[in-house]
């Protein structure tokens, strides 16, 4: 079996015949898969629930084997019920014989018998990497794994682990109670733990006293790395260990090297801690935060979470050069276009510096949201993410639509420029929400832009399973001819010069809106 970036390969044996058969078809897409073997947190802040949320946030499929059921909330753990080892074994056999897991991540393994059944099943159904988070004590102080498991951890589990992720308390317990209160002592502990057999040790220093930084020590047997970040002042630290370990597992499953996976996971936790520091769920410590970074969003402020094709009716595309010509800001231009009747705005700013563009985009987002109008960014996925725009529009030479979708998530709008029926079909297949087709007529906003004419527009509309907006050289004089095309999925026109290369954007937008509305009604 192949190894992941130097991660340990397991002995020869594989999945069931059925699982092997499902992956032989070339059309089947392989998805990175993680198995988490841990306890259930009824408060959904740690354990299995945290692992599932993290893997989903990192774009990885995660299955679960539950070792214990807890009664807990944000205040602490009230009760723990261990599942019978035989039932844990049945869960393991069930999923390991079917799925092709890249990585197994362990959390709460509260008895030697449960560790034993895990070891046996991993021997029967090997995977590419094992991430061991030696969960022993909850954030609230409740003991989740007693001293009886320490010997089997040391002698049997750690030697086959690719990485272990103990915090300083857990590292101390594994080493017989040694004191770990400084970074130097963390380094010494990491070295001692590495001698027990794991390929990599990550000692987490979140509980270090008197430290303004969060310091984790990484040791691979040759080199130490001190991973530092500013400590976030928050009580919402429940589940940090589960979050970090499952993020490492997810990144390894996607093919990252070990050190890279650990660095990504640490940034992920830091960002989530900082983002959620003022969120309150329950009356105590919550966690693990808000992995989709969505809890702060006000759902009432998002008109475009479900895309309405009729929004394409009058699609206004900005141009910084034109705004400069008429000595007006992009914010003023967008506001005037919306007040004149524009139903969707696209910011296309080819010459603006990134910093300036981002600030302008943030201001335009506020204006558009206050008027219930969607705002899209042309080409710049980074700007769209940073300003939380409603989506993006990309061209054929830009980032592929399926990759854009993976970055933006399921709720954002994605448009793509298409000149041919083949491109229109591909846009639908890749997950676009609409297509912009043209240039219909010659235009001076794009050099050497091939026009497709009204006939070409009609062919694209006929082939497209998506709503279409026509673009290119369209204005008041020819907008009616465009809207007369016999194509139910032609939802509007996109214009640049017709609005923004005019002295009064408001007046021109009103005129064009009236023309389009009348032609649409007649048609």
Q: Which residues are catalytic?
A: 204, 237, 239-242
Contact (CB, 8 A) for 322 and 501: yes
d(CA 377, CA 359): 13
Asked whether the CA dihedral 421, 426, 432, 438 is positive or negative, the reply is: negative
CA-based Rg of the chain, rounded to a whole angstrom?
Answer: 28
The CB density around residue 456, as the number of other CB atoms within 10 Å, is 18
d(CA 206, CA 168): 8
The CB density around residue 443, as the number of other CB atoms within 10 Å, is 19
* Phi, then psi, of 292 in degrees rounded to 5: -90, 0
Nearest in space to 132 (alpha carbons), one of 164, 175, 176, 99: 164
Tokens 């609409």 correspond to: 434
Asked whether the CA dihedral 228, 233, 239, 243 is positive or negative, the reply is: negative
The structure tokens listed for 346 are 């696209």
Asked whether the CA dihedral 341, 346, 348, 349 is positive or negative, the reply is: positive
DSSP SS3 for 229 = strand
The structure tokens listed for 149 are 């498991």
Contact (CB, 8 A) for 379 and 393: yes
**Angle, CA of 489, 480 and 425, to the nearest 5°:** 25
Nearest in space to 105 (alpha carbons), one of 179, 38, 42, 45: 38
Nearest in space to 418 (alpha carbons), one of 478, 469, 454, 379: 469
Contact (CB, 8 A) for 131 and 18: no
Dihedral-angle region of residue 59 (phi above 0 means left; psi in -120 to 50 means alpha; beta otherwise): left
d(CA 55, CA 249): 8
Contact (CB, 8 A) for 252 and 131: yes
Tokens 């709460």 correspond to: 108
The structure tokens listed for 151 are 């010997």
d(CA 352, CA 318): 12
* Phi, then psi, of 215 in degrees rounded to 5: -120, 125
Question: Beta partners for 347?
Answer: 377
Contact (CB, 8 A) for 88 and 110: no
d(CA 269, CA 277): 12
């Amino acid at each position: 079996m192949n190894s992941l970036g130097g991660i340990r390969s397991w002995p020869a044996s594989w999945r069931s015949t059925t699982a092997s058969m499902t992956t032989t078809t070339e059309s089947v897409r392989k998805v990175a898969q993680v198995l988490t073997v841990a306890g259930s947190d009824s408060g959904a802040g740690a354990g299995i629930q945290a692992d599932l949320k993290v893997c989903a946030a990192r774009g990885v499929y995660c299955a679960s084997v539950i070792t214990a059921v807890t009664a807990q909330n944000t205040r602490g753990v009230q009760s723990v019920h261990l599942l019978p080892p035989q039932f844990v074994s049945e869960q393991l056999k069930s999923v390991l014989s079917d799925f092709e897991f890249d990585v197994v991540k362990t959390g709460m393994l509260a008895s030697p018998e449960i560790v034993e059944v895990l070891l046996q099943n991993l021997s029967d159904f090997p995977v590419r990497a094992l991430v061991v988070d030696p969960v022993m004590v909850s954030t609230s102080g409740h003991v989740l794994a007693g001293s009886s498991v320490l010997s089997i951890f040391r002698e049997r589990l750690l030697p086959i682990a690719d990485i272990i992720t103990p915090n300083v308390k857990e590292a101390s317990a594994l080493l017989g109670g040694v004191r770990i209160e400084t970074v130097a002592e963390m380094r010494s502990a990491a070295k001692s733990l590495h001698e027990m057999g794991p390929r990599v040790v990550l000692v987490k220093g979140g509980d270090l006293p008197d430290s303004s930084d969060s310091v984790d020590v990484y040791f691979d047997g040759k080199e130490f790395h001190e991973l530092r970040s500013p400590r976030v002042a928050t009580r919402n630290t429940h589940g940090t260990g589960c979050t970090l370990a499952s993020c490492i597992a997810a990144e390894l499953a996607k093919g990252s090297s070990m050190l890279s996976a650990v660095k990504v996971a640490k940034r992920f936790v830091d960002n989530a801690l900082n983002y959620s520091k003022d969120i309150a769920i329950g009356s105590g410590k919550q966690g693990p935060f808000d992995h989709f970074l969505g809890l702060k969003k006000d759902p009432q402020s998002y008109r475009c979470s479900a895309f309405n094709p009729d929004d394409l009716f009058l699609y206004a595309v900005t141009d910084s050069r034109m705004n400069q010509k008429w000595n007006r800001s992009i914010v003023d231009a967008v506001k005037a276009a919306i007040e004149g009747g524009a139903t969707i705005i696209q910011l296309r700013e080819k010459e603006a510096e990134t910093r300036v563009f981002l600030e302008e985009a943030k201001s335009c987002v506020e204006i558009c949201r206050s008027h219930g109008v969607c705002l899209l960014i042309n080409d710049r996925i980074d700007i769209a993410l940073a300003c939380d725009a409603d989506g993006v529009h990309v061209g054929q030479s830009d980032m592929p639509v399926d990759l854009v979708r993976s970055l933006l998530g399921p709720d954002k709008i994605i448009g793509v420029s298409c000149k041919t029926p083949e491109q229109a079909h591909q846009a639908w297949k890749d997950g676009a929400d609409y297509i912009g087709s043209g240039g219909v007529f010659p235009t001076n906003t794009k050099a050497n832009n091939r026009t497709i004419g009204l006939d070409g527009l009609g062919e694209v509309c006929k082939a497209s399973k998506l709503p279409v907006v026509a673009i290119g050289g369209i204005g008041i004089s020819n907008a009616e001819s465009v809207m007369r095309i016999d194509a139910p999925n032609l939802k509007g026109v996109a214009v640049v010069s017709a609005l923004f290369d005019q002295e009064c954007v408001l007046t021109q937008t009103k005129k064009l809106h009236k023309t389009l509305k009348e032609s649409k009604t007649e048609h």
